[in-house]
Structure formats: structure tokens, C-alpha cells
Structure 1
Amino acid sequence: MQLKGRPKNINMSDNKITNAPAGGSKTEPKGKKGKKAPVSPEHIAKVRAEREAARAAKKEAMMAQGIDPDFPPELQFIKRPILPLHKGENVEGFKFKLMTYNCLAQALIRRKLFPTSGDALKWYRRSKVLLNEFKYYNADVICLQEIDYIQYQSFWKDELAKLGYDSQFHRQASKNHGVAIVWKREYFVMTDKMLIDFDRESSGDIPPRTTTNNAGLILSLKFSDKVAQEHNLKKTGIIVGTTHLFWHPFGTFERTRQCYVVLNKVKEFSHRVNVLQNGNDGDHSHWYPFFCGDFNSQPFDSPYLSMTRKPIEYSKRAKTVIECSTSYTFSKMRDGEEDDAEEEEGGNIEKFGTDQPDHPVPQHYEAKDHERELVEQMQSLHNSLDMRAVSLYSVAYRKVHPENAGLDNERGEPEISNWAHTWRGLLDYLFFIRHWDFSDCKEIDSLESFERENSLKIRGLLRVPPGKEMTEHGQPHTGEYPSDHLCMLCELELVN
């Protein structure tokens, strides 16, 4: 049968009928034996470059929206910028990034505390998001809290080692989570460490109010030969410590005692390091001392103020809250027994009764004589110690993000670092620890004097969103944050 219209080619090999011209009619140039002319290497390179540029532009546009196309949606997290200081100034010293992060211990997760978090709580997913955060921010020294012992041994230790980090972990035997310090082996070498058991540490004549099983860790990290030679550093290295203080709502007095222990142990460790590593010359300026962590205290309460505002004199809210906390009686079940995760994360074993205060932050509290004496004793204890802490965010954050510096406090701190279902506020800090000469240091150090007196520059601070930018639901949450805390980070330049 004759086909009407335009003739068609019949390809007998695959029985396909095409609209190509019959008889081998030429519609495009061909090479020898009917083959297409070869495409030049230049043309191939050009096409590949155009495609790569298009892919890069698309990725850049997505990254600008906080979306990394290399990760599936369930492993995404909100990426925050480092807000720079000293822009345009040449870097003359050694620059490194210091981070603190409460990663939310898997052992403490209870669905009732995270009712909107869904699959974001599952370890197989959270672990990957946390690891992606570490890769993205690429800090050189990281202080971690709420790190599960099992996960540290089976996951964190090896995964962080692959990224070039060495690490140390510490916990109390009765707890299944602890703290860790992580550092890049390219830049630092650990030369000494100190383990802190807050329940056994002395604090003048003030004993612990209850068993907390809180732990701390301090390391001396000596500059590697590479860093010392490249930057011609006269200093030896950094001292860095971390902790997670007592969590209890009525634990303000005990947290304030633990803050004394922090400062005192840094002093003790600095002396030991000087004796063993610096020839006992009595000069503690060989090392830059930092202490970071979750202090479970806000900038307007006595634990934070006792470290940073010296000499300390409790007044207003700080005085009311710490005096109220001395009236609280902790259960004897705490003493000598293993830590209970339910108790740790909020299911109090202590029962409210007629002799217990109603609220940890009352509008007014009339302290009894012995309670006032305890608080005055704590105040004197802190004022007797020739050490103080300077918050890196406090001295510099108003320079880079004034809209969120001192919103709810007088110390220039961000508004929040914890955004859980039931509570939101600032609990995490990066402190520089220094000698105190008993002069009046109640006001915030100016950035200029702080940098000049301590031979360093704050080059940048990781942006912390104010509460109005946060979601109504708590964290963690898929595509947002993998912990109920937000990591905090400071970029520092150490100069001779």
C-alpha cells in the first residue's frame, strides 16, 4: 500500500518509524562516512562551564535562603552568619573560632517535653544535622555539653576525628551524658587537663546544697609548631574549660556556688600549668584562658553577675531570686543515688509543700535571717576571689547586632540561646577569664580596653536571632535547629 504524504524511513532494527527524510537527504553537515563532525574541545569546555556556573548560581541562591541543596530537606538547618568586627583591618595574629553548644542529650529526651519536634528528635537524623552544623561553622575549638557517653564513643569521637579534631570527654559516673572539648589537631596540642566534680569542690565555708553530679573539664591547648612558627607567637597557647551547671529552677544558690568553683579552678589550673610548662615564672599571661558552656543562668541573675560584675552586690531581682532559692529543700533522694533522667529534665522528684516556695522567681520574697546570712556569705566568697569573667558577647555584640544586644538585660547580651517548648532565654556563654585586682569592675568592659589589655581582637560573633524571629514552636525542629539550644561562636585574633 502506498503511503500518502511525505515518505517515512522505517528502521527495521527497532521497528520505529521516523519523520527523517528518505534517501539519506542531508539536513546537517556530516564528516566522513556519514558521521557528525566532531565538537571541538573548546565548545565542550564552554558548555560545561556554563552548566557549572548555572548550578553554582542556583546553589548560591538557595544558600542565601538558608537551604543547602547538598542535603535533603530533613537534614537542613538554619544557617547564621558570623557578624564581623574590625572590617578592613589586616589580620596580624593567629585567628581561630571558638564555639559552645549544648547538643541536647539523647538520654534526656522525653516526648512530653518536645511535643512538636516529631522526627527531628530521632538520633539517626539529629546526629547528621549536628555534624553538618560542625562542618558548616568549622570552629577550631568547640565546647560541648549534654553529650551522651554512648554516642561519644560510637559516633562523635570518630566522626570528629575524620574532620581533623581531637577531643576529650568527661562525665560523672552516675550520669549517661557529659561535656567534651574538641580542637583541631592542626592548630593545638593538649598538654594537661583537669576534671571538675562540683559536688566535691570546696567553696570556702559554703557546702553544696544538694548532690548535682555536675561536671566540668579544663584543658591546656598548646599552639602547634605550625601555628607558633607561622605567627611568631610569644604566648604558649590557650586554656579552655566547659561545664553544664545545675539545671534546677530553685538551684540559683547552688549555681552561684558552682560559678565560684569555675573561677577558682581556672585559677588553680593556670597556676599548675605555669609551674609545669612555663618554668614557674609566675607569669600567667603565657596562656589565653577561656571558659564556655551552659550556665543555666540569665544575665540578670546572681550566678552570671557573680562572675562578671565585681565586686558583686546582690540587689533587686538577683537578690530576691537567690534568697528564695535558699528556702528550698531538695529531696534526700538525690544524695548517694544514681541520677534519674526524668528528674534531670524537669520531672522533679522534689514535691512542693507548705514549707516550699511557690515560684523560683517571685515578685517579692521576705528572707529569714539565716537565709540572708547565707546570701551575704556567698557574696563575700565571690568578692574574696581575685578572678573575674568577661563575656565575649557582652563586650562586642552591641557593635554588630545592636537590635538584639541588651533587649532584656543590662549586660549587652543576646536575648536567647535556648528555645524549648516550655522555656526560652539566654543560658550559654563564652567567657574570657582574667585576674581581678579588686578594683571597681561593675560596668561592662569597653571593647577597646578589653582587647588592648588582653592582647586579642574579637573578629566576629555568630548572629543570634532575637525571640521575635523564632518560631512559635520549640526546638529541635526539622529544617530549623537540631537542639533546643543554639550554638554560639566567637572568631578571635590572638596578637602578641
Structure 2
Amino acid sequence: MATRRPIELTPEQLALSEARKAKKLKLSENPPAPEPATNLILSRPWISLNSDPEPGRIKVHTWNMLAQCLVRRELFPTSDCLKAGQRLPMLHAELLAQDSDILCLQEVDNLEKLLPPLQSKYTTHYTAGPGKKHGCMILFKKDGFEKQSERLVQYDQEEIRDEGSDAFRRGLSFKTRNIASIVALKNRSKSGPEGVIVGTTHAFWHPKYTYERCRQVGIFKREVGKFATEHHLEHWPCVIAGGIDSIFQVQSPVLTRFLDFNFGPDDPAYSLLMSEPLTKEQRERLEASRVVHVSIDPTVPPTTSGPVGDDEDQAVDPDRVITNARRATPSDGLLTDDELVALFALGKPLKSAYDEGLAHPRASASDIRTFGDRVSCEPDMKGSNEPEYTSFTFFWKTVLDYIFVSQPTVITGLLAPHRAEHLGRGLPLKGICGSDHISLSAELSFSNKGQASLD
């Protein structure tokens, strides 16, 4: 029997074969992002605020994803998708649905399962506080941006004064291990800004620690400005997104009343960010929270039999009161109201994408309910046009999430918030949303032409 001679490939055929092998290898290493399964989540319309087709717009998305390590059945008694396997496809669908250029995410964990469908399209930048099981992440399109520089802000270590003891310079009321993440993204496109500075944070959650939350948000704003100055990027626009987050965790599954803490647009941190004067009630809340926790001063005698957690994954006081703390003294260095105002004055002036966008006539005509429709406040109060809710569960319903942009950025479009009647008795819910928070998305323009068309 004659031996079959091996087929000899031409140079062109060999080159084609090698190209196919390289393509298969690349696909195996970077699988294409799946098309979002829109039936897994409730779709939302896009609100167009400017029809000008001028290029260079950037779509920014923010979302508190509800870290899997924080999920407890007693916290979400009406939810039907609390297991990781149920939530993960819904999380991916939400992240991919808007084809956003930049995503700012909070409460991110399970990275080994979360990232694979995103890595072919996005570069990821993940940071977490010391010992935290979840963190913040910024994603940006690979073909749109490249990271030029970065900074991690650890609130516990940041100083607010230039003199005195370590404690006095920091002015801490509670060691929280919370952080902020800042990156400078250089625009690969010839249209739009040269680059953009993006920051995201997850501020201290405890409802009663108003001062500490304000301290953290003020430091965040200051550090974004310092970051721009140090890298000679003052001409780049800034986008900071995330949540002035507060959450009530219950130790007992037996709790039937609805809770709304309203730590949102009426919070002192929001007013300070918007350069609004503090109200009498806000000043009283700040003063009541000027305490020093045992995590700062170990000599503080305990006032509760159980441990007070410094993170969402630990048991906390169910009565939502300050425990294991003493009143602050001048030597502790906590900022006064006037000093807080001065801290927030550092960095570029900011505005809220949703507060400004939903106030626009073309947005208000869409019959979207806002925070001002739900809470009695002056119609011209900054924050009254934020979404009605951004966190919606059986036990707590409030506004916690925002997209803030530097002036004179123009908001050209918004992702419509979910309507409360679509959210059942509380998120997460199958076919609606895989988190207890609602994602927000804004399309931004940085051109003078766009500014003129909205003024």
C-alpha cells in the first residue's frame, strides 16, 4: 500500500493558518462580551436633552451593585434573586445594557465571576479599603481611553489640618476603612475633551454619623482637585460618581415597618457639595454627630453589650443611635460647620447630572417623579430634581446615588430612573434589577456649543 504524501501548504496557506490560530487564541483569552439579555432586567427609556449630533459625548454609568458578601435574607425578605448564580446574569445585563464609555461601581466583589464578560470591551481599575471584602471599580472602554494616572484615597489616613497631633490633623470621628478611587483617563478619540478625571467612592453608611460622612465627601472633592493640579490636568473635566451611602441593617428578621432615612439630597454633604448654605436642621444633625468612636479612642467605655460594626457586613445597633462614643472635644480636631464649608470649597464647582437634567422641560414632560415630589421641600432647592428613589428595598427606600460633574459640562441625556410602582415590595427582583440600588447613567458633552443650546 502506497504511503500518502503529506500535503504541502503554500506560504499563503501557512500564513492564513497561523492567522486563524492567532485569532482563536485571542478569542480564548479575551472572549467577546455577550449581548445583554434584556429580558433579565426591566428596560428603561433614554431621555434626550439635546439633539445636537456633535461628536465627543461621553456616557457615564454609576451603580452600587450590592456586594454578594453583604446579602442577607433577613435584609431582603421580599427578594427572589439573592443567590450569586441568580444575580450575576442580571448584573451583567445591567452593566452592558447602556454601552457606557465609563462605569463607576461600588460594592464590587466576586471579581473572578464578574469580570470575564466585561474584559474584552473594558479596562478595569479596582480598589478596596484595608480588609474590606468589597470595593470600588472604574471601568472604561479600551478603544476610548487609556489610564494616565491614578490615586487611592484612604479617608482614615487623610489629614484636614496642617498642625497638631495626628488625631487633631485628621479630625476623625470613626475609623471606617472607606476609600475613594480617582483616575485620569486620556481620550483616544480626536473628538471631545483631551481627557477626563473620574472618581468614585462609597462613603460611610451609618445614618447617624453625619459629620464623618461629610468629612469623607469633602476630602473626596478636595483630592480630585489636588489630583488635577498635581498632574497639570486642571483643564480636564471632572466626573465623580457614587453614593453618600447609608443603610440600616437589622439583627432580627422580624421588622415590618418601612424606613426612609432621607440621607440624600437633604443631607448636609449634598448641600455642601452644591455650595448651598446649611439649614438649621442640617447644622443640628452635624453637631449631634460630632463624637469620637471607640475605634478612635480605645478608652471610650462601651454603651452596648454587642459589637458595633464598622462595615455593612457586621452587626450594628438596630435602634440607629450612636453608641460606643463620647462627645468630641476641641483637641480631637473635628471640623466646625465653617471649616466644613471651607473644605468643600476646594476643587472645581460641581453640579448634579440628574438634578439639572430632570429639571429641564424636556425631561419634566416625561412625567418622572423626583425627590422633590416625594419630600416636602422648596422647588428651587438643589437636589429636589434627583430621582424619587435610587435605593429601594422592603426596609429602606431613599436616594443615595449621584453623578456629579464639573462646570460647565452639559448633560445631553439621562437614563430614566425606575418608577416606584415597577419595583414591587423591594429590590433585588427577577426581571427588574439585580441590586438593591438603581443604576444611573448620563450622557455628557464638554463643548461650548452644547452649553449654548441648553441655556
Common fold by TM > 0.5:
yes
* 1:302 match: 268
Structure number with the bigger relative contact order (C-alpha 8 A, sep ≥ 6) is: 2
Q: CA deviation at 1:401?
A: 3.6
- Paired residue secondary structure (1:210): coil
* 1:94 Cα offset (Å): 0.4
Q: Is 1:176 aligned to 2:125, yes or no?
A: no
CA contact (8 A) 2:272 2:341 kept: no
Query: Which of these residues, 397, 415, 427, is aligned with residue 462 of structure 1?
Result: 415
Match of 1:431 among 388, 404, 408: 404
Question: Which one-letter code corresponds to 1:305 in the other structure?
Answer: S
Q: Distance in 1 between matches of 2:282 and 2:444?
A: 31
In the alignment, which residue of structure 1 is the partner of 2:61? 99
Q: Pick from 222, 237, 251: which aligns with 1:288?
A: 237
1:482 equivalent in structure 2? 434
- Note if contact 1:263-1:388 (Cα within 8 Å) is conserved in structure 2: no
Question: Which structure has more helix as a fraction of its residues?
Answer: 1
- TM-score for both structures, normalised by structure 1: 0.67
Contact 2:173 2:296 in 1 (8 A): no
Residue in 1 aligned with 2:182?
A: 218
Q: CA deviation at 1:147?
A: 0.3
TM-score by length of 2: 0.73
Shift of 1:315: 1.4
**1:320 corresponds to:** 284
Aligned CA distance change for structure 1 residues 185 and 70 (closer, same or farther; 3 Å):
closer
Question: Which residue number corresponds to residue 330 of structure 1?
Answer: 293
**8 Å CA contact retained: 1:191, 1:222:** yes
Residue 333 (structure 1) shift: 9.1
**Corresponding residue to 2:222 among 255, 264, 287:** 264
Q: Does the residue aligned with 2:231 lie in a helix, a strand or coil?
A: helix
Deviations 1:85-124 (A, max 9, x none): 123x3x2230221000000000111111011113x11111
Alignment of structure 1 residues 86-485 onto 2, 5 Å: 86-87=50-51, 89=52, 91-118=53-80, 120-148=81-109, 151-152=110-111, 154-162=112-120, 164-204=121-161, 205=169, 207-224=171-188, 227-228=189-190, 231=191, 233=192, 235-274=193-232, 284-285=234-235, 287-296=236-245, 297-310=263-276, 313-326=277-290, 330-332=293-295, 344-345=311-312, 348-349=315-316, 375-382=336-343, 385=346, 387-399=348-360, 400-402=362-364, 403-405=368-370, 406-407=372-373, 408=375, 409=377, 410-411=381-382, 412-433=385-406, 454=408, 456-467=409-420, 469-485=421-437
Give the aligned residue type for 2:418. Answer: P
Q: Which runs of 5+ in 2 are unaligned?
A: 1-34, 162-168, 246-262, 299-306, 449-455
- In structure 1, give the amino acid aligned to 2:129: Q
- In structure 2, the partner of 1:448 is none
Runs of 4 or more above 4 Å deviation = 69-72, 340-343, 346-353, 367-371
Q: Which amino acid aligns with 1:295?
A: I
| Residues 291 and 431 in structure 1, CA contact (< 8 A), matched pair in contact too | yes
Are the structure 2 counterparts of residues 86 and 158 from structure 1 closer, same or farther at C-alpha, using a change threshold of 3 Å? same
Residue 321 of structure 1: how far off its partner (Å)? 2.0
Mapped contact 2:36–2:94 kept (Cα < 8 A): no
The residue type equivalent to 1:114 in the other structure is F
Structure 1 residue 201 displacement after superposition:
0.9
How far is the alpha carbon of 1:341 from its aligned partner?
Answer: 11
Stretch moving more, 297-306 or 343-352: 343-352
1:47 is matched with which residue?
none
Q: Which amino acid aligns with 1:95?
A: R
How many residues align structurally? 366
- Secondary structure at 1:398 match in 2: coil
One-letter code of the match for 2:211? F
Query: Cα–Cα, structure 1 residues 257 and 114, in superposed 2: closer, same or farther, change >3 Å?
Result: same
**Residues 216 and 462 of structure 1: is their aligned pair in 2 closer, same or farther, counting only changes over 3 Å?**
same
- The structure number with the bigger radius of gyration is 1
Tell me the alpha carbon deviations over residues 133-180 of structure 1, each in whole angstroms, 9 at most, x when there is no partner: 2222111100000001xx11x123322113x11110000131010000
Shift of 1:465: 3.1
Report SS of the residue matched to 1:421: coil
Q: Percent identity?
A: 27
Q: CA deviation at 1:325?
A: 2.0
1:203 Cα offset (Å): 1.8
Change in 2 beyond 3 A, CA 1:352/1:415? closer
State the alpha-carbon separation in 2 of the partners of residues 160 and 493 from structure 1. Answer: 25
For 1:386 and 1:174, the matched residues in 2 are separated by: 30
Corresponding residue SS for 2:196: strand
Tell me, in whole angstroms, the C-alpha distance in 2 between the residues paired with 1:423 and 1:186: 39
Q: 3-state SS of the aligned residue for 1:112?
A: helix
Paired amino acid for 1:330? H
Please tell me whether the aligned partners of residues 391 and 430 of structure 1 are also in contact (alpha carbons under 8 angstroms). Answer: yes
Contact 2:218 2:340 in 1 (8 A): no
